[in-house]
């Protein structure tokens, strides 16, 4: 357990559930055998930019696996399927996950072939490095670990459950800047409210995510 790392993640807004999850960092530079401490090299076969070399990364992973043989190794990369809520839920059951954050133009493909169990993209855009992608995935997984959220029921009515986006939500006051809450929400008829929310969720999904709507 590394209190300092957990504190850092808390400050960055990643929910680590007050000790229910532990986060540690490994720097491949600490494992390089290069006399100049390098972890990158020019790409073979052409291409602009540098690539993370296999040796420092592989030795980092071997060190982790020597202590945690069941570690699930994930590489964050645009060359992958999009990370989803279902992945977050599935990975929340893993005991130990390693998130590899690429830098430069990414990592040597052989590391993926030899050690990586799964690859994920967080969207159709290119980040400078994988750290933010790893943090996004880390946060999404963490809140699905039992006991991390104050109320586990929150997970059951969120967007992406049953391929639907969430219906509009309101809190006090009932009228704000001349805008009223949907009146049905105030009447206390829970089955009616549930039906209405489902209808509104369908409308939102159809408008914002026709790809999801097709699955409903």
Q: Which residues bind ligand SAM (CB under 6 A)?
A: 76-79, 101-103, 105-106, 121-123, 125-130, 133
Which residue's CB is nearer to ligand SAM, number 19 or number 129? 129
Shortest-Cβ-distance residue relative to ligand SAM: 102
Which residue's CB is nearer to ligand SAM, number 56 or number 106? 106
End-to-end CA, the chain: 42
**CA dihedral over 181, 187, 193, 195, signed as positive or negative:** negative
Residues 6+ apart with CB under 8 A from 165: 159, 201, 204, 205, 208, 209, 212
Which residue's CB is nearer to ligand SAM, number 71 or number 164? 71
Tokens of 110: 């052989």
Contact 180, 172 (CB under 8 A): no
Closest distance to ligand SAM from the beta carbon of 125 (Å): 6
Closest distance to ligand SAM from the beta carbon of 3 (Å): 27
Closest distance to ligand SAM from the beta carbon of 17 (Å): 24
Length, in residues, of the chain: 216
Closest distance to ligand SAM from the beta carbon of 105 (Å): 4
Which residue's CB is nearer to ligand SAM, number 48 or number 175? 48
Q: CA-CA distance, 159 to 63, in Å (whole number)?
A: 38
């Amino acid at each position: 357990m590394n209190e300092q790392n957990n504190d850092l993640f808390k400050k960055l807004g990643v929910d680590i559930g007050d000790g229910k999850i532990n986060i540690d960092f490994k720097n491949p530079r600490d494992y390089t055998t290069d006399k100049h401490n390098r972890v990158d090299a020019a790409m073979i076969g052409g291409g602009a930019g540098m690539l993370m070399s296999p040796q420092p990364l592989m030795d980092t992973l071997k060190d982790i696996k020597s202590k945690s043989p069941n570690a699930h190794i994930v590489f964050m990369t645009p060359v992958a399927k999009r990370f989803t809520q279902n992945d977050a839920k599935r990975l929340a059951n893993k005991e130990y996950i390693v998130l590899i954050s690429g830098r430069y133009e990414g990592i040597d493909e052989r590391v993926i072939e030899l050690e990586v169990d799964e690859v994920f993209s967080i969207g159709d855009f290119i980040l400078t490095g994988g750290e933010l992608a790893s943090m996004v995935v880390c946060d999404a997984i963490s809140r699905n670990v039992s006991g991390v959220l104050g109320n586990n029921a929150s997970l059951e009515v969120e967007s992406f459950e049953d391929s639907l986006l969430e219906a509009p939500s309101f809190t006090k006051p009932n009228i704000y800047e001349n805008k009223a809450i949907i009146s049905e929400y105030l009447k206390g008829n829970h089955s009616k409210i549930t039906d209405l929310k489902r209808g509104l969720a369908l409308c939102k999904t159809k408008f914002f995510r026709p790809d999801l709507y097709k699955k409903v």
